[in-house]
């Protein structure tokens, strides 16, 4: 308890230092900068503006209320991080949920880490910290990666090093942004998962994408079922010559399959290997049915 009181007192003391116009710190080289930068300081909430680079755009109200109740009971345990803009003026880098919840319970000050950073550094700090620590939905994460590419000109390899994720993982997120906007919204709202999205993205036609999306939602299809649906669609686009090249087996026409089915009076299954070999499976449902099929084979 004594340590906590001492820490809070130190924060209030540094807060007073920052409010002194004669000690306005604008760079890490300024006097007393070492006492401020990286330290926890009690800041007036009114002096903190929301970070325009914040990737999170959806805040669950129920979760926010739970956090507010915790802050009311225990105080703000984890400080927010801010960037000093001007005299007694700061911009949020990370911790918007904590700041919002603190406002809900009527706090006038919050503990904050002070950093001095340019806009690019602020953007990187905000995006990287949120990607790593917060429960962003897959589209928000993808948009964060895209902003690092567009605004900071980071390569996927550089992003991989910054956020500690495999390059392939980053690529998979970025590919989601090629989905139809309706499907992106469906992922954000939790109607389908990222796995569903990764399966749909293999189809270029966005009208077909949305048709499959509607089937996933209406029929509650799993990711595996979605992958099979996509594969069947892609196979349907292949010309007959591509399906059955010489030396790669042959295709059996539906009317041929139907003729065999009608002959035996039961739905048969035909499988053909790439070398042209295959098998016909004739199911039966009883001993009587088995004897009936044998008679048909014997003629």
- Return the CATH number at 146: 1.10.10.2830
Same structural domain, 149 and 73? no
Q: What is the CATH number of the domain that holds 112?
A: 3.90.1530.30
Same structural domain, 147 and 208? yes
The question of whether 96 is a catalytic residue gets the answer yes
CA atoms in the 13 A half-sphere facing the CB of 230? 23
Same structural domain, 226 and 254? no
Domain boundary, last residue among 118, 133, 166: 118
How big is the CA angle at 232 (ends 231 and 235), to the nearest 5 degrees? 85
What is the model's pLDDT at position 191?
93
Element (DSSP H or E) covering residue 69: helix 61-74
Same structural domain, 147 and 231? yes
Same structural domain, 282 and 176? no
What is the model's pLDDT at position 22?
64
Domain boundary, last residue among 237, 265, 287: 237
Classified as helix, coil or strand, 145 is helix
Same structural domain, 165 and 259? no
What is the model's pLDDT at position 8?
42
Q: Residue 276 is part of which domain span?
A: 245-298
83 strand-pairing partners:
91, 115
The pTM of this model reads 0.50
Q: How many domains does the chain have?
A: 3
Same structural domain, 233 and 285? no
Residue tagged active-site, from 66, 96, 151, 225:
96
Same structural domain, 292 and 225? no
Same structural domain, 260 and 224? no
Q: Is 60 exposed, middle or buried (0-12, 13-18, 19+ CB in 10 A)?
A: exposed
Residue segments in the chain with a per-residue pLDDT below the cut of 70: 1-30, 32-38, 53-58, 117-123, 133-134, 151, 240-253, 274-275, 299
Same structural domain, 27 and 59? yes
Domain boundary, last residue among 203, 237, 271: 237
Classified as helix, coil or strand, 269 is strand
Classified as helix, coil or strand, 8 is helix
What is the model's pLDDT at position 148?
81
Same structural domain, 84 and 148? no
Same structural domain, 189 and 112? no
CA–CA gap between residue 32 and residue 17 (Å, rounded): 9
């Amino acid at each position: 308890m004594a340590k906590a009181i001492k820490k809070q007192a130190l924060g209030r003391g540094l807060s007073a230092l920052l409010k002194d116009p004669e000690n306005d710190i604008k760079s890490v080289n300024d006097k007393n900068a070492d006492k401020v930068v990286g330290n926890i300081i009690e800041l007036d909430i009114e002096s903190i503006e929301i970070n325009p680079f914040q990737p999170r755009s959806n805040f669950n109200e129920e979760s926010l209320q739970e956090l507010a109740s915790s802050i009311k009971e225990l105080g703000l345990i984890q400080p927010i991080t801010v960037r000093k803009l001007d005299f007694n003026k700061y911009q949020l880098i990370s911790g918007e949920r904590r700041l919002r919840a603190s406002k809900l319970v009527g706090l006038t000050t919050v503990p904050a880490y002070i950093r001095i950073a340019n806009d690019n550094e602020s953007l990187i700090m905000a995006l990287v910290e949120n990607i790593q620590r917060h429960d962003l939905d897959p589209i928000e994460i993808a948009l964060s990666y895209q902003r690092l590419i567009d605004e900071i000109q980071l390569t996927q390899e550089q992003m991989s090093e910054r956020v500690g994720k495999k390059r392939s993982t980053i690529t998979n997120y970025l590919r989601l942004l090629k989905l139809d906007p309706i499907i992106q919204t469906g992922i954000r709202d939790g109607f389908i998962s990222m796995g569903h999205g990764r399966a749909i993205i293999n189809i270029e036609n966005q009208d077909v994408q949305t048709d499959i999306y509607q089937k996933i939602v209406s029929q509650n299809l799993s990711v595996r079922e979605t992958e099979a649906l996509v594969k069947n669609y892609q196979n349907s686009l292949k010309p007959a010559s591509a399906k059955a090249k010489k030396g790669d087996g042959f295709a059996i026409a539906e009317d041929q399959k139907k003729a065999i089915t009608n002959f035996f009076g039961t739905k048969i299954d035909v499988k053909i290997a790439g070398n042209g070999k295959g098998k016909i499976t004739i199911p039966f449902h009883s001993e009587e049915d088995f004897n009936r099929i044998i008679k048909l084979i014997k003629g």
